[in-house]
Structure 1
Amino acid sequence: MKKIIMFAVLAVAMAFAVSCAKEEGKKVDVEKVVKAPVEAAKVPDAEKPVAEIPADPNTEYVVGKSIYTGWAPWWYIEESGIKAKWEAKYGIKIKFKQFDYVPSILAYSNVDGAVHACVMTNMDALAMPALGGIDSEVIIVGDYSNGNDGLVARQVSKVSELAGHNIYLVDGSVSIFLVYRALMMEGNGLKVSDLTFKNVTLDSQIQNVYTSDPEVIAATWNPILMGIMNEPNSKLLFDSSKIPGEILDLMVVKTDAPTALKKALVGMWYDAMADMTAQGPKRQETIQALARSQQNRLEEYEQQLKTTRMYYTPADAVAFTKAPELIKTMDMIRAFYFDFGLLPGATSKDQLGISFPDGTVLGNKDNVKIRFVTTYMQLAADGKL
């Protein structure tokens, strides 16, 4: 029988449908949410070195992955031999397991602990595992979406024309945030209650729904976004290039997971980044492998990389993670999710804590569930992994 906490996590996947009902007759001042001042506490020694957490030699540590441009390197890492290299270095067994996107995060969020690490966005880390009570560290900030997430239609040409239309998106996913940001920036006063949302369970369903009905409007991400944009008469109403640095693509690991797992994953990642930026045939070979993993042609994947702001070096990723803009972004996101009913059961946006490398904590410092750390990326930058 599944544990109680899993029911709470599964409830998050349905929260978007619930929130739409809540929005009827309720007007939320979106601009006020975005511009509200950041209220945060400081906790000293936020990244003070901690004792090594040993790995169990009899455990195979499971890492969830899903199809997305910025996460394609995890396929390459396995097939290229990079994974085996870092497993041997740290004496740990690691299994990469592919899921659809939301199911991957639900598996990570399950209290049974069967998935130890998972790729996800910053807002989904808040809305699923953190809300479900899972204490996590963000050990890699891999990129931000700079056009990889989009809102696409055939029957309308502007966000302000969306009233009365059906918008399809993956239930409980980052796409909800994209729609809200589109409304705030280009909706001309359009409210959530003016829109009709239709939820699908799996990201792989979005393209089928879109292609089967010319009336469908879809919010999704690459490579699915590229696929539906290739349909005749498709128009890109809004994309994440208009909100740079907000939709972050992360590797999230349970805080109590072995230190060797965290170090090995970071080492693997930056080996792959080095191959992606190598000169000559090595880069071509690497990008070809990445394209295959996402079921793309080479030119398609290259185009998607142009809408992905990759942090190819650990030094760049550390600098982004330490910048004050990240705190402002996460404060905006938690306000959105609370005010729009996407944190079911939470009594305030401060119920959960989010910590940052400088010691800042948004929310409850005694209930921190998301920890942005630079410890392992800094080791990679210093050549000390």
Structure 2
Amino acid sequence: MSALSRFTRRGLAVLGLGACLLAQPVLAKEQFRIAWSLYPGFMPMEYARTSGIMDKWAKKYGIEVEIVQVNDYIEGINQYSAGAFDACLMATMDALTIPAAGGVDSTLLTIGDYSNGNDAIILKHGSSLADIKGQPVNLIQFSVSHYFLARALESVGLSERDLTLVNTSDADMVPLFGQPAVTAMVTWNPMVSDILKRDDAHLVFDSRQMPGELTDGIVVNSATVAKHPELAKALIGAWFETLAVMGEDSDAGREARSVMGQAAGTDRAGFERQLDATYLFATPAEAGAFMRDPAMAQTMARIAEFSYAKGLLGNGATSAGAVGMAFADGSRYGDANNVKLRFDDQYLRLAAAGQL
């Protein structure tokens, strides 16, 4: 008896079905792209890439996530807004004034940090903030640095009318400070650390004087995450696992901080000094509590008012509330029919409960 004759007709049919199934093409995994740029609070995303932590969480949810460094911070946000990326690490103010104001419905999955000294105003000539009067000031105009400067000026009775603003890419700030014509600059780490190595650089104001106000986080396209919540789960899972590792006083933690320091153009000691000026929300519970605090909505309302005054909410904006925002505490700000920025803590709650 031949080998084939041992099979029943049913067996042959099943075998044929199996062969057909094997012949079917394997469905491609959903692929997503995440943009980030140099900033101490964003470096965990790079370590999540190099360490394999992101791949592990992506595999858990059956997706692929590509993490891409964009050298120019604003360009990264612009590319996200244009659809080249599904998510981007950015300041909450920039999330409002660039993608949201441009009509791209965006969701903040978590507040990653707030600047606690990372953002700074540096002068060549002068030892106090008041000495900035009459000087040209290099900064990224209409960004969170612009807002930071405006708030700082209020503290010494000055305004932008007392200065000349010079729009400058973050990628150019360190070399530009060496030019004689550049006398004042508003920027953030790691550029601040590099600039302050110069003998003629004087720190006159930093974000420690306005804690909890300059916040950053992981922003995703709302339509994408609504269709693919697995992306949000993978990002939150990878983010907080990375923070747990880098926060350890262990060989693994020191190695993680060394890798991040090198990626930021410094070493572990230099990066740890930058981390001292960054308040990272180490756990999902802590980040969620901050997002649900009514102070979050109050800060964003103040930012919206600044943004409207600067024309950053679009040509058709008729009020500071032209771009609506929905907050994790259930409150809303602005036009309820044009909500384009959402602070959503649902994935943080899942993470805090161990349910990712």
Scaled by the length of structure 1, the TM-score of the pair is: 0.82
The aligned counterpart of 1:15 is none
Moved more, 124-133 or 209-218: 209-218
Structure 1: gaps (5+ residues): 1-55
Give the one of 201, 206, 215 matched to 1:234.
201
Once the two structures are superposed, residues 217-256 of structure 1 have per-residue CA deviations (whole angstroms, 9 ceiling, x without a partner) of 1000000011111111311111111110111110000111
Would you say how many aligned residue pairs link Structure 1 and Structure 2? Answer: 325
Distance 1:122 1:161, change over 3 A: same
Matched, 1:76 2:47: yes
Give the one of 289, 292, 295 matched to 1:325.
295
Matched, 1:91 2:66: no
Does the 8 Å contact 2:291/2:329 carry over to 1?
no
The aligned counterpart of 1:253 is 220
Once the two structures are superposed, residues 169-223 of structure 1 have per-residue CA deviations (whole angstroms, 9 ceiling, x without a partner) of 123321101110111112x2x22122101112x2110111111226421000000
The aligned counterpart of 2:177 is 210
Once the two structures are superposed, residues 341-377 of structure 1 have per-residue CA deviations (whole angstroms, 9 ceiling, x without a partner) of 3334111111111111222110011111110011111
Q: How does 1:6-25 map to 2 (within 5 A)?
A: none
* 3-state SS in 1 of match to 2:155: helix
Q: Distance in 2 between matches of 1:193 and 1:279?
A: 48
How far apart are residue 57 of structure 1 and its match? 4.1
Q: Distance in 1 between matches of 2:252 and 2:215?
A: 27
Give the one of 182, 185, 195 matched to 2:163.
195
Q: How does 1:1-385 map to 2 (within 5 A)?
A: 57=28, 59-99=30-70, 100-110=72-82, 113-186=83-156, 188=157, 190-200=158-168, 202-213=169-180, 215-257=182-224, 258-345=228-315, 346-385=317-356
Q: Distance in 2 between matches of 1:126 and 1:149?
A: 19
Q: Distance in 1 between matches of 2:333 and 2:43?
A: 31
* 3-state SS in 2 of match to 1:211: coil
Q: Distance in 1 between matches of 2:355 and 2:141?
A: 41
* 3-state SS in 2 of match to 1:142: strand
Does the 8 Å contact 2:292/2:327 carry over to 1?
yes
* 3-state SS in 1 of match to 2:147: helix
Does the 8 Å contact 2:141/2:165 carry over to 1?
no
How far apart are residue 152 of structure 1 and its match? 0.2
Moved more, 163-172 or 141-150: 163-172
Structure 2: gaps (5+ residues): 1-26
Q: More relative contact order in 1 or in 2 (CA 8 Å, sep 6+)?
A: 1
Q: Distance in 2 between matches of 1:285 and 1:135?
A: 38
Scaled by the length of structure 2, the TM-score of the pair is: 0.89
How far apart are residue 148 of structure 1 and its match? 0.3
Does the 8 Å contact 2:142/2:310 carry over to 1?
no
Distance 1:58 1:172, change over 3 A: farther
Does the 8 Å contact 2:138/2:182 carry over to 1?
no
Structure 1 runs of 4+ with >3 Å offset: 56-59
Moved more, 164-173 or 68-77: 164-173
How far apart are residue 60 of structure 1 and its match? 2.2
How far apart are residue 114 of structure 1 and its match? 2.2
